[in-house]
Amino acid sequence: MQNIIATHKYLLPLIVGLLIGSCNTTEPVVRHESIHGKSVETIVEMMTLSEKVGQMTQAGRNYLVKEKDIKDYYLGSLLSGGGSAPRNNEPSSWADMLDGYQAVAAETRLGIPLMYGIDAIHGHNNVVGATIFPHNIGLGATGNAVLVEEIARITAKEVRATGINWTFDPCVANSRDERWGRAYESYGEDPALISALGRAQVEGYQGASLSSPEAIAACTKHYIGDGAPTWGTGSGGNIDRGDAQISEAELRYLHLPPYLAAIQAETATIMASYNSWNGLKLHGHKYLMTDLLKGELGYEGFIISDWAAIDELPGNYKSDIIESINAGVDMVMVPGNTSGSGSSYRDFIKKLKQAVNEGSIEMSRIDDAVTRILNVKKRMGLLDALYSNDRSLIASVGSSEHRAVARQAVRESVVMLKNEGVLPLSKDLATIVVAGRGADNVGMQCGGWSIAWQGGMGNITPGTTVLDGIQAAVSPSTQVIHSPDGLAAANGDAVIVVVGEAPYAEGHGDRDDLSLSNEDISVLNRVQASGKPMVVILLSGRPMIISDIVEASDAFLAAWLPGTEGNGITDVIFGDYNPSGKLSVTWPTGMSQIPINLGDSNYSPLFPVGFGLSF
């Protein structure tokens, strides 16, 4: 008898599992059951394990083994990773692609529409022709929450135009170390500023109601301490994804406040972070995700894991799944591989179901995760109406109206670090020489997460370069000479040199030497030797080591990663706008000072937080 019971205990779930499993692929006719008007509780009661687990799965669109998997595996979500675009990267192709995916999702029994996530982190930056705004570090320098909310509202509209309903933004990292490749995704180092701008961004994305046709769900990230790791503990011995070796008091004081602000603004989702806190990976951290975030802070939305991040937990893939879900992750960004084996969404779904059937994950945890996900979908209006996509919004993508706001953001983000009476330049100078590899370079202005994951140099998308802006601003009699290497410097009444960092994203930007490149330094030396007034514009994702160059220049502007509207910089150069940007990060004198942050003892940087000149 004992044996039979024991056998049954293992056999029953297996048989049930097999039956459900086979339904996935053999279900001949899809019987629709309308969920419109039903409560989330009722819908969850109607759902099979396969349907629940599907809702908890986010696959990468380019890793779908076949499109029909959306239906066969009841996928709840898809994403485009950085640069994962349809063949024709233009808004209508994106909208077509989304309509296609949603049509497959609509064929499932319950017809629950997908949430489709994308990193629209400075505008709808994966889409050619979209308006690209300054990266967060530039927004931090504006200190302007009203403007930031407007930027998010515009971004939401451009995202919705392509049929997408969810952005993996805002990033509310408090970047403590300039060597971090994601420093530019951070608004700065003051938790109050980060909280204010993060909140504004959430409110702008989500609008008055998440179900409005121009709103998208926000995803506040990366929870928590992504900007806090110690150099040397990250991937490849650098810093990204490393270990934040800080006390709980410091974690709460410097890194938690923006999450409280985002929760107050009703952020629909929060993304867990790759990093560890004192040796424990966030993706397995029950105290931080469940007790603190969902318990103490009362967060009611859902937690999504980062890109294949659960795979980095110790143990095998199945234990990764069990540990992360039990710790509080509600939806897993798988994203997958096209072979369908290994850590693909198919494998994830299989193993998650096994874990539930074996009792390693309680059904109540699954129901909680699915309830959280469906509550968000309910708020978005996805459970009460058929999915529809408003093509009339496409005309707004990259519109002149949107670009004007981006230009305003650029003007406000420029921080003038030095001006020895040379700025503003007269628009009537006889000759202006424009030098440096950044002078005519939309890609360099945009930085990482622009069209491609890592971004790219040159004409990656329509925009206005600094050179374009200068040509448009000066009087018809002024001759503008473009001399990338600076050899023509002696011909100018003034020389504008645009230098800085080539694009990068995430750990690819971790650097323990933040000096300018040799190429940039040669151009600067050449221009300096000409003896002409030298205006330096730095395009960078973070403070760089510039003491000598500031010394040698007549004027120096930190323009960060301004995006597509370079004429916002020329507005400052020619005095159409009186610079107002203030440093949201500390500017070190040299590498030996890094990391350096406001509040450190012996704080003697090149420029402190809050610094920024006006005319």
Q: Which residues 6+ apart lie within 8 Å of 7 measured at CB?
A: none
**Residue 206: CB minimum distance to ligand BGC, A:** 17
Residues 233 and 397: their CA atoms lie apart, in Å, by 41
Torsion angle, CA of 7/13/18/21, rounded to 10 degrees? -170
**Residue 407: CB minimum distance to ligand BGC, A:** 27
Which of residues 194 and 410 has its CB atom nearest to ligand BGC in the complex?
194
168 binds ligand BGC (CB under 6 A): yes
184 binds ligand BGC (CB under 6 A): no
How far apart are the two ends of the chain, measured CA to CA in Å?
Answer: 90
Residues 382 and 36: their CA atoms lie apart, in Å, by 9
AA identity, residue 136: N
Residues 137 and 442: their CA atoms lie apart, in Å, by 18
Note if 554 is an active site residue: no
Please check whether residue 14 is in contact with residue 357, taking contact to mean a CB–CB distance below 8 angstroms.
yes
With contacts defined by CB under 6 A, name the span among 75-83, 103-111, 130-138, 366-374 that binds ligand BGC.
Answer: 75-83
54, 81, 86, 301: which one contacts ligand BGC (CB under 6 A)? 81
**Residue 39: CB minimum distance to ligand BGC, A:** 31
Question: Pick the catalytic residue: 306, 330, 347, 440?
Answer: 306
DSSP 78: E
Please check whether residue 279 is in contact with residue 243, taking contact to mean a CB–CB distance below 8 angstroms.
yes
**Residue 451: CB minimum distance to ligand BGC, A:** 12
Where are any strands of DSSP class E within 288-345? 302-304, 332-333
Residues 371 and 40: their CA atoms lie apart, in Å, by 7
Residues 417 and 556: their CA atoms lie apart, in Å, by 5
**Residue 219: CB minimum distance to ligand BGC, A:** 7
* CA angle at 187 for the pair 184 and 193, rounded to the nearest 5°: 170
Which of residues 71 and 221 has its CB atom nearest to ligand BGC in the complex?
221
With contacts defined by CB under 6 A, name the span among 79-87, 259-267, 400-408, 606-614 that binds ligand BGC.
Answer: 79-87
For residue 416, the cross-strand partners are: 557, 613
180 binds ligand BGC (CB under 6 A): no
Residues 420 and 570: their CA atoms lie apart, in Å, by 18
Q: In the Cβ-directed half-sphere of 156, how many Cα atoms lie within 13 Å? A: 28
Site string for ligand BGC, 273-312 (x = CB under 6 A): ---------------------------------xx-----
Which of residues 236 and 295 has its CB atom nearest to ligand BGC in the complex?
236
| Site size for ligand BGC (CB under 6 A) | 11
Site string for ligand BGC, 429-468 (x = CB under 6 A): ------------------------x---------------
Segment 113 to 142, residues that bind ligand BGC, using CB under 6 A:
119
Tokens 């929060």, located at residue = 270
Please check whether residue 31 is in contact with residue 109, taking contact to mean a CB–CB distance below 8 angstroms.
yes
17, 54, 76, 83: which one contacts ligand BGC (CB under 6 A)? 83
**Residue 186: CB minimum distance to ligand BGC, A:** 12
At 339, list the tokens. Answer: 């072979």
Site string for ligand BGC, 578-607 (x = CB under 6 A): ------------------------------
Residues 134 and 197: their CA atoms lie apart, in Å, by 13
With contacts defined by CB under 6 A, name the span among 12-20, 80-88, 143-151, 596-604 that binds ligand BGC.
Answer: 80-88
**Residue 119: CB minimum distance to ligand BGC, A:** 5
AA identity, residue 122: H
With contacts defined by CB under 6 A, name the span among 82-90, 152-160, 494-502, 602-610 that binds ligand BGC.
Answer: 82-90
Please check whether residue 509 is in contact with residue 483, taking contact to mean a CB–CB distance below 8 angstroms.
no
**Residue 199: CB minimum distance to ligand BGC, A:** 19
Please check whether residue 539 is in contact with residue 107, taking contact to mean a CB–CB distance below 8 angstroms.
no
- Three-state secondary structure call for residue 53: helix
**Residue 178: CB minimum distance to ligand BGC, A:** 19
240 binds ligand BGC (CB under 6 A): no
Which of residues 177 and 506 has its CB atom nearest to ligand BGC in the complex?
506
Tokens 């779930």, located at residue = 13
Segment 487 to 506, residues that bind ligand BGC, using CB under 6 A:
506
Please check whether residue 318 is in contact with residue 326, taking contact to mean a CB–CB distance below 8 angstroms.
no
Residue nearest to ligand BGC (CB): 81
Which of residues 127 and 425 has its CB atom nearest to ligand BGC in the complex?
127
With contacts defined by CB under 6 A, name the span among 77-85, 288-296, 533-541, 585-593 that binds ligand BGC.
Answer: 77-85
Residues found near ligand BGC in the complex (CB under 6 A): 81-84, 119, 168, 221, 306-307, 453, 506
Annotated catalytic residues are 306
